[in-house]
Amino acid sequence: MSSTLYELLGGEAGITRIVEDAVNAHLNNPVVQSRFQHTANIERAKKMSVEFFCAGSGGPQSYTGRDMVAAHQGMNISEQEFMAVVDDVLQALDKNAIGPEARQQVLSILYGLKGQIIRI
C-alpha cells in the first residue's frame, strides 16, 4: 500500500519538526537570515508553513493562509534566496530522516511554487 506524502513526512508532528528545523536553518543562513529575523510574527509564519505542508501533502488540515503570490508579493525574492530556502528545507528533511521518495516529492512541490515566489 502506497503512503501519502503527509504520512511519509510523519504527519502533522513530523511536518512541525521539519518546519521548525527549516526556520531555524533560515535564521542562521546568511543568504536569507535578515528576511526571517525581521518577520513580524515568526510563530505565525511557522504555523502557516505547517498548515501549508500538511494540506499540500495530503493531510486533513486546511490551509488558512494567503496564496503564494499574495504572501510573497513585493518581497523581490531572488533566485539565490529561493535556493537557500530550498537547501535549508532539504537539510531539515535529512535531519528528520525523511527518505528519498518524500524528499523528491517535496522538492517537486517547491520547484512548482518557484514562479509564485521569485521576483513578484
Where helices occur in 4-63 by DSSP H, the ranges are: 5-8, 11-28, 33-37, 42-56
pLDDT in tens, 18-35: 999 999 999 999 999 999
Q: pTM higher than 0.85 for the full model?
A: yes
pLDDT at 39: 84
pLDDT at 48: 95
Give the mean model confidence (pLDDT) for residues 43-65: 96
pLDDT at 1: 54
Q: Facing residues of 77 across strands?
A: 118
Distance between CA atoms of 100 and 110, rounded to whole angstroms?
Answer: 15
